Structure 1
Amino acid sequence: MQLQVMNSPFTGEQIELLNRLLPTLSDNQKVWLSGYIAAGSITSNNQISTAIQATIQSDETDVTSDQLTTREITILYATDTGNSQALAEEFGQKLESQSFKVTVRMMDDFKPKQLKNVQDLFIVTSTHGDGDPPDNALSFYEFICSNKAPKLEDVRFSVLALGDSSYEYFCQTGKQFDERLAELGAERLHPRVDCDLDYEELAEGWFDAILSKVTEKSTVNNQRPSTSSNKEMDGDQPSHSKKHPFRAKILENLVLNGRGSNKETRHIELDIEGSNLTFEPGDSLGIIPENDPDLVMNIIEETGWNPDESVPVSKSGDVLSLREALTTTFEITTLTIPLLEKAAELSTNETLKQMVLTQNKENLLAYMNGRDLLDLIRDFGPWKVTAVDFIKILRKIPARLYSIASSSKANPDEVHLTIGTVRYQTHSRDRVGVCSGQFAERLEPGDYVPIYVQKNNNFRLPSNPETPIIMVGAGTGVATYRAFLEECEEQASTCKTWLFFGEQHFLTDFLYQVEWNKWLKEGVLSKMDVAFSRDHEEKVYVQNRMLEKKKELYQWLEQGANLYVCGDEKNMAKDVQKVLLSIIETEGNKTAQEAEAYLSEMRKNKRYQRDVY
């Protein structure tokens, strides 16, 4: 029975100490303590408290090592862009700073059979394409969903899922991991959290909740973690990040396509001198874009709001004018199902309410396709709400990530990008990409843009500089390969290199043609095969060129070559993988299942890497 103030002669402080002490005492300790008190050695309340506290401390030295052991924490992440990795590593650092034993691993680097030995498991994962796991999660995902997965009754877990609510299968991979772990008997320590593109605040809340739970458990086990200040960790972080971007000066903003091209691809050079930003070939550059000011004013005029009205833009109370907020802070070019649901609550329009109420995903997705906030406001007005209330339903404008197209060794204090301008017309209006449109229409050399480096350890040159590399890319997907070859040139690498490049027209769309030819002449680039799809009656793509060279390509793979794919995921990357499997099957004299296993092994060994979007 627990002692209480009302059923004993002790003070509240003494009750707390006694209730901590008594359950831990052995029979001999209880006898000794009762005799000690009976002997009259203690005469005051303060002495009683002091004696009990001393006994607790003495007893704690006798607690078995099992009682003192904190549960080990395993954090697994799966990522396409690096966001999940950054969050997992940040969370791991926070736990380590408080004396927890933590293991942080990419899913492909974690042996699935060790899952049965895990104690506390926290998963941070993005979702790839149409609800699929990221490439670096496939092996773990297949294992955990198979009959080989062990029962996990002794495992506690929680999942942080990253996604984009404008897609139909929002956070699908995180949902599947969460459901499967529960099916295997694991205890859900904290509910799954699904994050949209502006994930920072939700992720931080998940971190705090998990930290509170594991700290509470450790305190119960008599091992209170240290409370080192997070400021110490902050000092180890890069000086510039997504939260604190560096304002980089634009040095060059050039169109790479020739006259008459259907495309507008820009080569951007930025000055990063003094930023302390570091990057490797394969990393991406994050850019914090601004919305088109004309679109912003059209929205304000349509609603009749005051552009100079102050509106809140953060939970900490920061305010901006409505015009500034819609330009710099909130997303206005993409519709999502959560946005439509929130908008329906503010609207008096029955059509919108009914569309949301029926929860017909096909109808919702069909409406959202190609429409923006201005369309929503026009289609379902009038809106009898204030700007302050409406702003609350908008999500933050997401950063845009672009593969870095340069080597820091070749271009110190600079970073280069290859950006394809997005232009299209839908629903009787011309549209332009947020960031690509900003570079195409409103940014010139001498202007500044906020940037940060996004690490991508899943798309790296081989550690052995003699390993052959095969690079497959279309359009702006060759940006990373320009960085690869600049790096190889600077390192005087002797490895064999083979580039497959695809675009529409040879005369107008052969991006970086002069540089490729120079590297071919110098031997930095060993081979190059190109596919210009619109120059022939029958369209030719990079995968067709791969098939034409299938025998030699397979020989390179057998010799240990790394193969990289960069570009559009829905079309090019899927078609390339299909052809690659076909080549492995035919040239390697394998069954379809054996070809799949061959490619899976390449992926596990970091020999097959993709950077797709």
Structure 2
Amino acid sequence: MNTPLLTTGLLIAAWLVLVWFTVWRPARLRHEQRREREAALTPERIAVIYASQGGTATELAERTAASLGARALVIPLNELEPASLARFGTALFVVSTYGEGDPPDMAQGFYRQALQWQTTAGLTSLRFGMLALGDSSYQQFCGFGRQMQEWLSSQGAQPLFETVQVDRLDEAALQQWQTHLNQHFQAQSWQDIPATPWRLVQRSQLNPGSQGAPCYELLLECQAPESASWEAGDIAQIAIGDSGQQRDYSIASTPSEGRLRLLVRQQQQADGSPGLGSYWLTQSLALGGELQLHLRRNAQFHLSTDDRPAIFIGNGTGLAGLRALIQTRHERGQKANWLLFGERQRACDFFWQDILTQWLAQGTLEKLDLAFSRDQAEKRYVHHALREATAQLKDWVARGAVLYVCGSREGMAQDVDQALRDILGAHGYEDLLKRGGYRRDVY
């Protein structure tokens, strides 16, 4: 027997098995789930369709469906094609906007298809309502929701009411949405988002001497332990004192660690005033003080359930969300992990250096690339480290790796996205999106 040929054959077989479990099988399962959901959507039922970036739209869609009862069927937008909507009688859309008017990651494929979709029948049989989530600090406030409303109307779909635009979960706007649901569908009242009391038990600055703003690690303990359940990738939504406002923070720990860990950098407003949430958490809230916190599920940033490789990319406080993901992989014994992290100075800004270097020594991290921009004359950022590892990136992606990006939306996330497009090419980038291999929690 020819040993080299046998070895080659076994390697090819192993590669095909890997591709089946990491690419083809998940795609097939998604297709089957899509067909099952569409088959269940009879004319008397109401489709509640969501497009979410950080879990808020998902949660509001689920609350909308709950108020409608058994009539409602919740469907993520990425499981639909434009032509699918022609079979629907009534659809309620709950969509967020990413950055300056862009679709959330999970909606990009649908929206590209929608812009190219041509049909004579259109969507004249569809009635719809639109809840658009956004942040008025951006010029294109609720931009994607408005684009979806305009596209649906251009296809002949009939709006049930004017698009409801929500500025950072403004209660008055959400109440307007509930009023529309009641008027058109006799919906039940929403249940309040469950918040539980937590206590600040430890707070320490992680970057003394840094050129950047102070950054603090906070440890919180739940006062109702039975409610302290979350998954790596989820979001802590915190009520800021008695201001009536809330702020979202990536969770940096797993439930097995016993405490909820945050990484918070002090922010300043454009006028120089301190950031409401960051200063309350890092300065005003006393040690031992209590806060109200809601754990929001963020399924778009969860880990894959299988053992495919994972690449983690982030900067600054974005390391918080990545730390929880890697900790989970560590607890599972999954070691095909690669972290690329960037900050200003290694001497001051290498957050959680001890645990990261320990994971590298233990093999939990197979690869650790660091980019400290101020440690050399020519600034070096995370996207530079990614481009320098082009061959390895292509290899990991070919093995089915999932990429997780957490940190600054402006700058880091944009530069990393462009690097991925350049390295993988248009076809490779599109394949990565289609198989759910590119997940972002950026802000």
Instruction: Give the TM-score of the pair, scaled to structure 1.
Output: 0.62
**CA–CA distance in 1 between the matches of 2:415 and 2:65?**
37
Q: Which amino acid aligns with 1:247?
A: P
The answer to whether residue 254 in structure 2 is matched with residue 407 in structure 1 is: yes
Report the equivalent of 2:276. 434
* Offset of residue 146 of structure 1: 2.1
Report the equivalent of 2:123. 152
The answer to whether residue 77 in structure 2 is matched with residue 107 in structure 1 is: yes
* CA deviations over 1:306-362 (Å, ceiling 9, x no partner): xxxxxxxxxxxxxxxxxxxxxx23xxxxxxxxxxxxxxxxxxxxxxxxxxxxxxxxx
* Offset of residue 70 of structure 1: 5.4
The answer to whether residue 257 in structure 2 is matched with residue 284 in structure 1 is: no
* CA deviations over 1:253-308 (Å, ceiling 9, x no partner): 01111435433111100001424131100001011114xxxxxxxxxxxxxxxxxx
Contact 1:133 1:141 in 2 (8 A): yes
* CA deviations over 1:492-524 (Å, ceiling 9, x no partner): 23x400000000001111011111001111111
**CA–CA distance in 1 between the matches of 2:431 and 2:92?**
26
1:546 aligns with one of 386, 390, 404 = 386
Shift in CA distance, 484/161, structure 1 to aligned 2, threshold 3 Å: same
Contact 1:95 1:211 in 2 (8 A): no
Gap runs ≥5 in structure 2? 1-41
**CA–CA distance in 1 between the matches of 2:64 and 2:281?**
35
Report the equivalent of 1:492. 333
**CA–CA distance in 2 between the matches of 1:611 and 1:83?**
12
Larger Rg computed on CA atoms:
1
* CA deviations over 1:37-67 (Å, ceiling 9, x no partner): xxxxxxxxxxxxxxxxxxxxxxxxxxxxxxx
Contact 1:74 1:122 in 2 (8 A): yes
Report the equivalent of 2:106. 136
**CA–CA distance in 2 between the matches of 1:419 and 1:201?**
29
**CA–CA distance in 2 between the matches of 1:532 and 1:85?**
36
1:120 aligns with one of 83, 87, 90 = 90
Matches within 5 A, 1:212-291: 212-214=183-185, 242=193, 244-275=194-225, 276-290=227-241
**CA–CA distance in 2 between the matches of 1:284 and 1:260?**
27
* Offset of residue 439 of structure 1: 2.6
* Offset of residue 173 of structure 1: 1.1
Report the equivalent of 2:26. none
Q: Which amino acid aligns with 2:281?
A: F
Report the equivalent of 2:264. 419
Report the equivalent of 1:576. 416
**CA–CA distance in 1 between the matches of 2:372 and 2:61?**
41
2:364 aligns with one of 503, 517, 524 = 524
What's the secondary structure of 1:519's corresponding residue? helix
The answer to whether residue 36 in structure 2 is matched with residue 195 in structure 1 is: no
* Offset of residue 130 of structure 1: 0.9
* CA deviations over 1:80-132 (Å, ceiling 9, x no partner): 22221111111112222xx42x2211211223331221111111111111111
Aligned length: 400
Gap runs ≥5 in structure 1? 1-68, 216-226, 235-240, 291-327, 330-396, 586-594
* Offset of residue 71 of structure 1: 2.6
**CA–CA distance in 2 between the matches of 1:186 and 1:260?**
54
* Offset of residue 161 of structure 1: 0.9
Contact 2:43 2:88 in 1 (8 A): no
**CA–CA distance in 1 between the matches of 2:56 and 2:149?**
19
* CA deviations over 1:208-229 (Å, ceiling 9, x no partner): 42343245xxxxxxxxxxx9x7
The answer to whether residue 440 in structure 2 is matched with residue 610 in structure 1 is: yes
Report the equivalent of 2:39. none
Q: Which amino acid aligns with 1:286?
A: Q
Report the equivalent of 2:245. 398
2:354 aligns with one of 514, 517, 542 = 514
**CA–CA distance in 2 between the matches of 1:257 and 1:166?**
29
Bigger mean CA offset, 523-532 vs 183-192: 183-192
Matches within 5 A, 1:282-431: 282-290=233-241, 328-329=242-243, 397-409=244-256, 411-412=257-258, 414-423=259-268, 430-431=272-273
What's the secondary structure of 2:116's corresponding residue? coil
Shift in CA distance, 207/606, structure 1 to aligned 2, threshold 3 Å: same
* Offset of residue 138 of structure 1: 1.0
Q: Which amino acid aligns with 1:484?
A: L
* Offset of residue 145 of structure 1: 2.3
2:64 aligns with one of 79, 91, 107 = 91
The answer to whether residue 287 in structure 2 is matched with residue 445 in structure 1 is: yes
1:460 aligns with one of 302, 307, 324 = 302
**CA–CA distance in 2 between the matches of 1:208 and 1:262?**
46
Report the equivalent of 1:348. none
**CA–CA distance in 2 between the matches of 1:499 and 1:274?**
34
Q: Which amino acid aligns with 1:186?
A: A
Report the equivalent of 2:47. 74
**CA–CA distance in 2 between the matches of 1:488 and 1:479?**
15
More strand by share: 2
Contact 2:196 2:224 in 1 (8 A): no
Instruction: Give the TM-score of the pair, scaled to structure 2.
Output: 0.85
Report the equivalent of 1:474. 315
Bigger mean CA offset, 440-449 vs 452-461: 440-449
Shift in CA distance, 124/418, structure 1 to aligned 2, threshold 3 Å: same
What's the secondary structure of 1:530's corresponding residue? strand
The answer to whether residue 133 in structure 2 is matched with residue 162 in structure 1 is: yes
**CA–CA distance in 1 between the matches of 2:196 and 2:67?**
25
What's the secondary structure of 2:255's corresponding residue? coil
Q: Which amino acid aligns with 1:416?
A: R
**CA–CA distance in 2 between the matches of 1:598 and 1:76?**
28
Shift in CA distance, 210/249, structure 1 to aligned 2, threshold 3 Å: closer
**CA–CA distance in 1 between the matches of 2:181 and 2:212?**
51
Shift in CA distance, 555/285, structure 1 to aligned 2, threshold 3 Å: same
What's the secondary structure of 1:138's corresponding residue? helix
What's the secondary structure of 2:392's corresponding residue? helix
**CA–CA distance in 1 between the matches of 2:178 and 2:284?**
39
Q: Which amino acid aligns with 2:216?
A: R
Report the equivalent of 1:36. none
* Offset of residue 539 of structure 1: 0.4
Report the equivalent of 2:22. none
Contact 2:322 2:404 in 1 (8 A): no
